Structure 1
Amino acid sequence: MKRILAFGDSLTWGHDPVDGTRLDARFLWPNVLAKALRAEVISEGLGGRTTIYDDENGPCDRNGARVLPVLLQSHSPLDLVIVMLGTNDLKPDICGTAEGARDGIRRIVEIIRRHDYGVVGLVPQVLIVSPPPCVIGPDGVTGGGRDIGETRRLAPLYSALCDELGLSFFDAGTVSVASSIDGVHLDGANTAAIGAALAEFIHTSQKA
């Protein structure tokens, strides 16, 4: 792998659950991945980003499907696109169901595979990552009113979709857990753990 696009939301951007600022660069999973693989990893994380759904509450376009073709073109050639999205789809006023997030991931994959890359490169490989499930926050609920049960259903639904589409899949919930400070975001150690685990996953996959 020489050039990787990390396409995600605030978990990729590095939202600190303590105060909402950005975690130190050494903890961001795209940076950890880049160092471990000695590859270029382009971090495209945006707080609030969804797969295919509109969210008018933010300062910019959060619909991942709408911006993705621009990113594919501007960052090509790419060897791999890692997609970790779905947590924001589960906000009750956005979509609210794991099936909706899964369908959004299906559309994201379709965009990557069907994009006209022209002379800038071949169609990149795709790795789907299910984000860690949310947990109960200090106020007894999880951030954004997400149903924790739905967040736990993302991994099996994404895994089944990847089997169907012939894609690689990794469950970030096996190596990281959301912070109880807000129930959604990750502290530095858990963010970095995703990068380290993905590096090992990709390395092992390449050797297979």
Structure 2
Amino acid sequence: MKRVLAFGDSLTWGHRPEDAARHAPEYLWPNVVAGRLGIEVISEALGGRTTAFDDHTGPCDRNGAVVLPILLQSHSPLDLVVIMLGTNDLKTDVCGSATGATAGMKRLAQIIRHYPYGASGSVPKILFVAPPPCVIGPDGKTGSGRDVAETRLLAPMYKAAAEELDVSFFDAGTVAQASPIDGVHLDAANTAAIGEALVAPIKAILGL
């Protein structure tokens, strides 16, 4: 059975914008992909996770570049790593720019490609997923402290980075949008929509 690692933040975890609880399992996009394709999709999702930036305001390490090597080892062998991160990089006290988030995505790809897998498996393929842009939230100005215009730059910049690195790319903003309840997170339908939309590209990448 093919094994995929879904590496993300609260958008992958399934944070409900209305109460911060978790969406029911059937709406989580990794579960949608797994069910549709009959493959194993391991959800490694943490609220607040960044691509490669420190944020010690939470209860655990949120730097994706720090934890990724551990996950590559513990879940090997992997056929594909899907990365949907960057929204938290755009917090003003973390990084604040799409340029920084893109650099972080490139660093994650570098970690995946150069990790010493040894007998545990070969180098997995990589899929960059640009998260849906934030929308104007309750404050009437920003996406929970993020520059909404900056969040819209993630998709074109990730696409260019994916082409540069010869990895796959998908823009989740084409099928899902953030809830105006908090300007960042997704309702159940939009969360599931990402999974449905990723079925075809992941199927193609894995040669299913």
TM-score bracket, shorter-length normalisation: over 0.9
**1:30-89 C-alpha deviation (Å, 9 max, x unpaired):** 000100110000000000000110001100000000000000000000000000000000
Give how far 1:201 is off. 1.8
Partner of 1:24: 24
Partner of 2:33: 33
* Alignment of structure 1 residues 118-137 onto 2, 5 Å: 118-137=118-137
Partners of 1:206 and 1:9 in 2: CA distance: 23
- Contact preservation (8 Å) 1:142, 1:184: no
* Alignment of structure 1 residues 144-155 onto 2, 5 Å: 144-155=144-155
Partner of 1:114: 114
Structure 2: give runs of 5+ residues left out of the alignment. none
Partner of 2:14: 14
- SS of the counterpart of 1:123? coil
Partner of 1:92: 92
Partners of 2:10 and 2:138 in 1: CA distance: 20
Give how far 1:142 is off. 3.0
Partner of 1:44: 44
Give how far 1:203 is off. 2.3
Partners of 1:183 and 1:98 in 2: CA distance: 17
Partners of 1:174 and 1:143 in 2: CA distance: 18
- SS of the counterpart of 1:86? coil
- Contact preservation (8 Å) 1:11, 1:186: yes
**1:126-181 C-alpha deviation (Å, 9 max, x unpaired):** 00000000000122033431000100000000000011110100000000000000
Aligned residues: 208
- SS of the counterpart of 2:5? strand
Partners of 1:101 and 1:11 in 2: CA distance: 16
Partner of 2:178: 178
Q: Quick one: percent identity of the two aligned structures?
A: 66
Q: Does 1:104 align with 2:97?
A: no
Partners of 2:129 and 2:89 in 1: CA distance: 15
- SS of the counterpart of 2:109? helix
- SS of the counterpart of 2:41? strand
Scaled by the length of structure 2, the TM-score of the pair is 0.97
Partners of 2:194 and 2:201 in 1: CA distance: 10
Give how far 1:207 is off. 5.7
- Contact preservation (8 Å) 1:10, 1:48: yes
Partners of 1:196 and 1:186 in 2: CA distance: 15
Partners of 2:119 and 2:32 in 1: CA distance: 30
Partner of 1:158: 158
Partners of 1:150 and 1:56 in 2: CA distance: 23
Partners of 1:194 and 1:105 in 2: CA distance: 19
